[in-house]
Amino acid sequence: MARYIDEILQPGERVLYSTNAHWIFYFPAIVAWIVALAFLVLMPQATADGLRVLCLIAAGVVALAALYWTIKGWFHRFTTETDVTNLRVVHKTGFIKRRTFEMALDKVESVDVDQSILGRILNYGDVTIRGVGEGIEKITTVDSPLAFRSSITTR
């Protein structure tokens, strides 16, 4: 499956920067996998048979939730594209229900980056693009938001 940006490039247009949603979308899945593993490790140490079965059931339920969150995080990252070309900024989310926005670089008024403490440590944040006559677009949980902002503002 081709990337969205490759399908919409105009003649003479080239991609300068590409980014994606940050891996933090996997965080709930990572925590759930650790909890499922902890239940499996505790299972042999349980003294009663009923407690062992309970640990096994709990590990299975948590592993199913972890699998769901893993697939959900992967699908979100797979269906999200954010690119800067020499002419415009393009952001696409979704697979069947698609949402896109494009803004010409010469219409960009300002680019704001909002990062939490964890976002600063793990290098992710929200980017708000204000356009002249184009409105405001917010892209959440962008990987390397400062590099993304620089790719938009550097000409």
> CA-CA distances (angstroms) from residue 66 to 42, 45, 75, 98, 148?
18, 23, 14, 26, 30
What is the chain's pLDDT, residue by residue, as a tens digit (155 residues)?
Answer: 678 999 999 999 999 999 989 999 999 999 999 999 999 998 888 778 788 899 999 999 999 999 999 999 999 999 999 999 999 999 999 989 999 999 999 999 999 999 999 999 999 999 999 999 878 999 999 999 999 999 999 86
Predicted pLDDT of residue 133: 83
Q: How far is it, in rounded angstroms, from Cα 111 to Cα 147?
A: 12
Record the pTM: 0.83
Predicted pLDDT of residue 135: 87
| Of residues 100, 92, 103, 99, the one with CA closest to residue 135 | 103
CATH for 85-153, options being 1.10.3470, 3.30.70, 2.30.29, 2.60.40: 2.30.29
Predicted pLDDT of residue 155: 67
